[in-house]
Chains A and B, each alone.
Chain A
């Protein structure tokens, strides 16, 4: 295993993320950790059947437990206005109408919430709740159900299928991916506190405080500004925090019921059925090329499971319409309702699953054609124009990622004939996969508050789920204003701060960087206006000419036409200078298409006796525009690749076909990659600015790191063994079969 070069100092000085000290000392407060006076505890009891309805609930034993304050069920609850009737439930689109129905849609659905003075009492009481059900036959079997579901179009068809039916080289295969669960290390939690009849305070784990505000405003028919949401530290999201889940509503209902703050923390098993997951998926890809290795056509079909109470479509075939040029292209999809909870977006949603099939199919085609899969890809990449919209890419350096990554892993060591390289009882193979993601940008706002001593605080409602948003904001603020980093404080994740979209879909940095640049300009402009009173030169001064230092404002060069903050504050009788600005996507979106990309290379060792797959090396090269925040950016990519290793080799959430329950739904039963499962991931960036996407030139990196990585591993396993394994995860039994 490759070692870090620790001879080279890791950092010139101990400069880490803005929130680093809070994280390494444990002082940062996550949702469940706020000290709220008089708080009590809510624990959910869940259904023991997967389909039917509740006949009766026996609370008699639970109520005997001391300290129990109340127990909420569908028969005993404060009515949520947004769930008053069927029509409202539909209109509010909350998802599971928790405690407002007697219907059971999946096993593990909450049927009661015990509220008690201590966690121990609430947990014990919840364990004593019994229910009787009108049980119906449940269906949780994706594999046997999906063939009966009809496909429908997923995007416009290009050309025809017939046009390439006689292509020189055609491969056609089916691919399956088992359901995966986000499992952020922090379990979802909410502390709800009604401070008045129509005023709600929430400490909640989520990826967007303004979204939480809106959802509860709709549910309770109160103005969003009456709802205060804090999510300063978020222990991982991966998409699971983009929705408001039933337990959060349960805590809010409970707080209303007992007129006290209520804390609900999900248990780890509950995290598997109550906060979404990546759905199980079936795919079929038919891919053709001519004798020159030019792709002539593709048919990509996909189906994913959903629940019985909501439809969730993954968008699995989207990636097929984006990375390569095809003259003929057809994509189809379908959803398969089962008695399971609703899936949701999980890191690289859709594309991650789609890229597995697409990138494996390309590998299969290259094998059939006896050409290098890298060469085949390079011939067909759509690097200048987005095939879907026909617009030019603003920037797309995926080809450079391929070249750089190939050099790093020493791709030329790869043998075209599978099974050629061996090391004792280990077979060695190389594989690659490409990931791409539409680089988005949303509307965002940020504010700055400046003190007389030159200290500034940048505030935005955006959360930092671990991506390094706060640090990036500090970097951008520093380069825009010239204020020293140690004088820039960052405050995030509170609904009182300027509003933003959620941190998801790799749009966080792209969106907020625009707002931060704008608010830095606003600050300079405002200080110049104040300085104008003393120095005429600041009248109509251009922004780049207004310089800020630790002590004051200068014009064009340091200390020229200097006006101190002290003077400004004194003359204008100020306590703070406050500015706020918003920004969002504009015309550039009409002119250009935007994408981020990552190319993954993998060298695996496969043990021919045990079937064990060891990832020997993993190299990922990404195009994320300008890299504003190098270490956290590399961390994002390597972390996502670790997720890809899990997807490729171990992660699967199965359901028992007879009982409808999830199997092994805890961290001992559901395996994701531990430290020893991953090699040291080698990450590099192209690091070229995208001049059009936003003022920082950075494109989002959160998703691309996982997209295509599982395919790289599966393709490497084929190259090592000659076994084409099309069903994820590739566990040792499949390798040996």
Chain B
């Protein structure tokens, strides 16, 4: 960390905590605190991150606040992973970390050293599409295509997890991936096809 800031995070947390305790203190003291707080704008901190994405090693300098999603989209231009809500509510940003499905918008880049990240760009074997990608094409498992990379990453995991015994089970385990076009027919059909 190259922290050059004059006020540490710990100082800030301690001061904030103290304020809660001092809620009964006269208004003038509070005002003083508020004034002091105005100067507390912690500067950006960065750190060097080695991370393996789609079996390729990247060494990047990353803002501590950067999520895996923004790292992929904004810094590495791997824009296949989509931002649909940035709050873990839609599944559009689903990637695999060490083979498990993970929401990249809720994963800080700082959590990645030593992990293997697979995104939609890393799913195909060169020109040869992954069977799930192929199935989504054949079953028309999308319309606008924006939730599709997340759907496919979840679908691959759904099959691997073995949650494909019925339409109802597939639907249940794919319900973390929203599709506003409502292309659920084709999504379920694709998964059924690959799971067979």
A714 on the B face (CB < 8 A): no
Which residues from chain B contact A14 at a C-beta distance below 8 Å? Answer: 134, 137-138
Selected interface stretch from A115-123, A131-139, A275-283, A534-542:
A115-123
| With A61-B41, A676-B172 as contacts: A6 and B183 at CB distance below 8 Å | no
- Contact-residue size bin, chain B (C-beta under 8 Å from the other chain): 35 or more
Which residues from chain B contact A182 at a C-beta distance below 8 Å? Answer: 180
A496 on the B face (CB < 8 A): no
| With A23-B142, A467-B143, A668-B89 as contacts: A184 and B180 at CB distance below 8 Å | yes
Nearest CB in chain B: distance from A639 CB, A: 3
A667 in contact with B144 (CB, 8 Å): no
A673 on the B face (CB < 8 A): yes
Nearest CB in chain B: distance from A18 CB, A: 11
Contact of A678 among B65, B73, B143, B184 (CB under 8 A): B184
B188 in contact with A675 (CB, 8 Å): yes
| With A23-B145, A33-B79, A267-B86 as contacts: A675 and B175 at CB distance below 8 Å | yes
A642 on the B face (CB < 8 A): yes
Which residues from chain A contact B182 at a C-beta distance below 8 Å? Answer: 638-643, 673, 678
Residue of B nearest to A640 (CB): B182
Within 8 A of B (CB), among A631-678: 631-632, 634-636, 638-643, 666-668, 672-678
B50 on the A face (CB < 8 A): no
Within 8 A of A (CB), among B147-196: 147-149, 152, 166-168, 170-172, 174-189, 192-193, 196
Which residues from chain B contact A196 at a C-beta distance below 8 Å? Answer: none
Contact flags (1/0) for A530-552 with B, using CB distance below 8 Å? 00000000000000000000000
A737 on the B face (CB < 8 A): no
Distance A465 CA – B74 CA, assembled complex (angstroms): 24
Nearest CB in chain A: distance from B168 CB, A: 5
| With A25-B120, A67-B44 as contacts: A667 and B183 at CB distance below 8 Å | no
Residue of A nearest to B89 (CB): A667
Distance A244 CA – B147 CA, assembled complex (angstroms): 23
Distance A25 CA – B86 CA, assembled complex (angstroms): 21
| With A33-B79, A185-B90, A667-B90 as contacts: A639 and B41 at CB distance below 8 Å | no
Within 8 A of B (CB), among A6-22: 6, 10-11, 14-17, 19-22
Which residues from chain A contact B38 at a C-beta distance below 8 Å? Answer: 60-61
B138 in contact with A674 (CB, 8 Å): no
A28 in contact with B41 (CB, 8 Å): no
Residue of A nearest to B136 (CB): A24
Distance A676 CA – B70 CA, assembled complex (angstroms): 29
B80 in contact with A26 (CB, 8 Å): yes
Which residues from chain B contact A426 at a C-beta distance below 8 Å? Answer: none
Which residues from chain B contact A640 at a C-beta distance below 8 Å? Answer: 182
A10 in contact with B181 (CB, 8 Å): no
Nearest CB in chain B: distance from A117 CB, A: 10
Within 8 A of B (CB), among A226-241: 233-238
A201 on the B face (CB < 8 A): no
Which residues from chain B contact A4 at a C-beta distance below 8 Å? Answer: 167, 188-189, 192
Distance A394 CA – B16 CA, assembled complex (angstroms): 71
B167 in contact with A268 (CB, 8 Å): no
B147 in contact with A6 (CB, 8 Å): no
Contact of A24 among B87, B137, B174 (CB under 8 A): B137
Which residues from chain B contact A22 at a C-beta distance below 8 Å? Answer: 145
B3 on the A face (CB < 8 A): no
Which residues from chain B contact A20 at a C-beta distance below 8 Å? Answer: 136-137
Nearest CB in chain B: distance from A294 CB, A: 37
A120 in contact with B138 (CB, 8 Å): no
A632 in contact with B140 (CB, 8 Å): yes
Nearest CB in chain B: distance from A359 CB, A: 20
A635 in contact with B196 (CB, 8 Å): no
B124 on the A face (CB < 8 A): yes
Distance A235 CA – B147 CA, assembled complex (angstroms): 8
Distance A467 CA – B146 CA, assembled complex (angstroms): 13
A27 on the B face (CB < 8 A): yes
Distance A572 CA – B107 CA, assembled complex (angstroms): 60
Contact of A466 among B84, B139, B145, B166 (CB under 8 A): B145
Which residues from chain B contact A634 at a C-beta distance below 8 Å? Answer: 140, 185
B104 on the A face (CB < 8 A): no
B77 on the A face (CB < 8 A): yes
Residue of B nearest to A670 (CB): B89
A680 on the B face (CB < 8 A): yes
Within 8 A of A (CB), among B44-102: 44, 63, 65-66, 70, 73-74, 77-87, 89-90, 92
Nearest CB in chain A: distance from B66 CB, A: 6
Which residues from chain A contact B87 at a C-beta distance below 8 Å? Answer: 268, 666-668
Question: What 9 A-B pairs are tightest by C-beta distance, nearest first?
Answer: A26-B80, A642-B182, A235-B146, A466-B144, A466-B143, A23-B145, A639-B182, A16-B137, A33-B79
Interface residues of A (CB under 8 A from B): 1-4, 6, 10-11, 14-17, 19-30, 32-33, 35, 60-61, 64-67, 118-121, 124, 128, 182-187, 233-238, 265, 267-268, 465-468, 631-632, 634-636, 638-643, 666-668, 672-678, 680-681
| 15 more CB-based (< 8 A) A-B contacts, given A267-B86, A635-B183 | A1-B166, A1-B171, A4-B167, A6-B196, A23-B148, A24-B120, A24-B145, A29-B79, A30-B82, A33-B73, A119-B74, A465-B144, A635-B181, A636-B143, A667-B178
| 25 chain-A/chain-B pairs, Cβ below 8 angstroms | A1-B168, A6-B196, A10-B138, A10-B193, A16-B138, A24-B136, A26-B78, A26-B80, A60-B38, A64-B39, A66-B43, A185-B92, A185-B179, A233-B145, A635-B186, A636-B143, A639-B182, A667-B89, A672-B178, A675-B175, A675-B187, A676-B171, A677-B175, A680-B167, A680-B188
